[in-house]
Amino acid sequence: MSRAKLFGSLCGLVFLVNFARVIFAPLVGEFIDEFAIREGTAGLVVTLAWVGSAAPRFPTGWLLTKVPRHHVVLASGAMLSLGAVFLGFTDGVAWLMVGAFAVGTASGVYFVSANPFISELFPDRVGRVMGIHGMASQVAAVVVAPVATVALWYDWRYAFFGLGVLAALLTALTYVLARRADLPDVDVAATGFLAAARSEWHIIVAGVALMGITSFVWQGLFNFYELYMVAKGLPQATARNLLTVIFAAGVPAFFISGSLVDRFPRVQFLLAVIASFVCSVFLIVAASGLWPLVAATTLAGFTIHAMFPAADAYILDTLPDTTRATAYAVFSGGMMLTQALGSSAVGALVERGIAYDTVFTVFAAGLAVLVVVFAGLDRAGRIPG
C-alpha cells in the first residue's frame, strides 16, 4: 500500500510536470501579441521548453548511477516550483525563453528519474503502471487550454504562479511518502554511464530514430494546432477547443495502450500505433469543416498518446536492471533533442510563407517512410527487443 500511495503522489507530480511543458502551446498567440514577436520567435520559446526537457537527461542519467532515483525526483519537483515562479515574474521575451528552458529542465530531470523508478516499484506490470502514469500526465494536457483561457481573462502569469505553489506542495508530500515506503533495492552504481550507453546502443538508436522523429512531427503539430485550425477557417475559440480535444483523446489512449502493450509483441504494436498516427495527420490535412476536423483530431490525439506508454514499456522492459536508468536517460535525451526541434521548424517554415498543409504533409510522408523501413528491419530481425 505504501508503494501505491507513493505512486499516487508521482502521478500528481507528473501532472504538473507535463502541464509546465504544454501550457506554452495555448499561449503562443498571447506571446505574439504581448511581446510583438512573430511565429518563428514564438515557436522558439516553445522549442526551448522542450530543449530544456532534453538537456538534463544525459547528466541525470549519470547522476542516477550515484544517487537514489527518488532523491532526483524530489529535486525535479523543487526545480519545477522555482522555474514556474520565475516565469510568473517574466516581463520580456528573453526572460520568457529562460523560464521556458528552466521548467523544461525540471521536466527532463523528472521523467528520466521517475520512469525507471516506477518500473522498479512495479516490475511485474510495467506497461500498466506506465500507462496510468502517462494518463495522469495527459490529464494536464487536457485541462491546459481551459486553464490558459481562464488565466488570460486576468494575466497568463497567474497560471505559472499557481503551478509553482502546487509543485512545492506535491514535492513535500512525495518526500514524506518516499520515507515511509518500501523502496526497491537497486544498485545505482551497477554499471557506469558510458558503459551502459555503449552496451545498449542498439536499442537506444532504434528508440531515438523511431520515437524521436515521430515526436518531432507531433511537436510541430500540437504547438501550432490552434493557429493551424484558424488558418483552415475555424473561429479562434473553436480552434482552441480542438486543442483540448486532441489532448483529451490521449487520456484513454495511455490507459488502453499501457494495458495492451503487455499482451502483444511490442515492436509490432509500436509500429502499428505510429502508422495510425501518420494516417491521422494526412486526414487532418485533407479535412475541412468542423466535424471532419474533430474526427481527425481525435484520431491523432489517441494514436500519438498511445505511442508513449508503448515506447516506455518497450524500452524499460527490454533493458536489464544494471543499465536501465542510464540507458533510458540516453534514449530519452536523444529523443527529446530530436522532437524539440519540431516547433521551431514549423514556425520557421510558416514564417517563410509555406502553408501549414504543405508542412504537415511533408512531415507525415517522411514519417511514413520511416515506419516502412522499421517494419522491414523488424521482419529481418534487426530491431532489438
Q: How do residues 329-355 score in pLDDT, each as one tens digit?
A: 888 878 877 887 888 899 889 989 999
Provide the pLDDT for residue 77.
95
Query: What is the rounded CA–CA span in Å between residue 208 and residue 160?
Result: 31
Query: What is the rounded CA–CA span in Å between residue 356 and residue 250?
Result: 23
Q: Poorest-confidence range of 117-121, 273-277, 298-302? A: 117-121
Q: Look at residue 191 and tell me whether its pLDDT is greater than 60.
A: no
Query: What is the rounded CA–CA span in Å between residue 62 and residue 323?
Result: 11
Q: Look at residue 385 and tell me whether its pLDDT is greater than 70.
A: no
Query: What is the rounded CA–CA span in Å between residue 199 and residue 173?
Result: 37
Query: What is the rounded CA–CA span in Å between residue 252 and residue 135?
Result: 7
Q: Look at residue 371 and tell me whether its pLDDT is greater than 90.
A: yes
Tens of pLDDT along 284-325? Answer: 999 988 999 999 999 999 999 999 989 988 888 788 777 777
Q: Poorest-confidence range of 40-44, 300-304, 365-369? A: 40-44
Provide the pLDDT for residue 190.
52
The residues spanned by each domain of the chain are 2-379
- Give the residue among 4, 3, 5, 50 at the shortest CA–CA distance from 25: 50
With contact defined as beta carbons under 8 Å apart, do 344 and 43 qualify? Answer: yes
Provide the pLDDT for residue 187.
54
Provide the pLDDT for residue 212.
92
Provide the pLDDT for residue 192.
63
Query: What is the rounded CA–CA span in Å between residue 184 and residue 201?
Result: 26
Q: What is the DSSP letter of 244?
A: H
pLDDT band, residue 9 (cuts 50/70/90): very high
Provide the pLDDT for residue 164.
94
Ramachandran quadrant class, 70 (left: phi over 0; alpha: psi -120 to 50; beta: rest): alpha
Please report which residue ranges of the chain form alpha helices under DSSP H: 2-22, 28-35, 39-54, 57-63, 69-88, 93-121, 126-154, 157-180, 193-199, 201-207, 213-223, 225-231, 236-248, 250-260, 266-286, 290-318, 324-351, 356-379
Average pLDDT over residues 51-61: 81
The residue that leads in pLDDT, 153 or 370, is 370
Query: What is the rounded CA–CA span in Å between residue 197 and residue 204?
Result: 8
Average pLDDT, the chain: 87
Q: Look at residue 273 and tell me whether its pLDDT is greater than 70.
A: yes
Average pLDDT over residues 82-95: 89
3 state DSSP class of 181: coil
Integer angstrom CA distances of residue 288 from 176, 337, 343: 52, 33, 23
Average pLDDT over residues 113-137: 84
- Give the residue among 150, 126, 148, 140 at the shortest CA–CA distance from 11: 140
Domain at 2-379: CATH code: 1.20.1250.20
Provide the pLDDT for residue 146.
82
Average pLDDT over residues 88-98: 87
Provide the pLDDT for residue 11.
94
- Angle, helices 2-22 vs 69-88, to 10°: value is 30
- Give the residue among 17, 14, 21 at the shortest CA–CA distance from 47: 21
Specify the residue for cell string 493551424: 228
Q: What is the DSSP letter of 123?
A: T
Provide the pLDDT for residue 173.
95
Where b means 16+ CB within 10 Å and e means fewer, 313-338 reads bbbbbbbeebbbbbbbbbbbbbbbbb
Residue 201 CB partners (closer than 8 Å, separation 6+): none
Instruction: Copy the grid coordinates of residue 163.
Output: 503551478
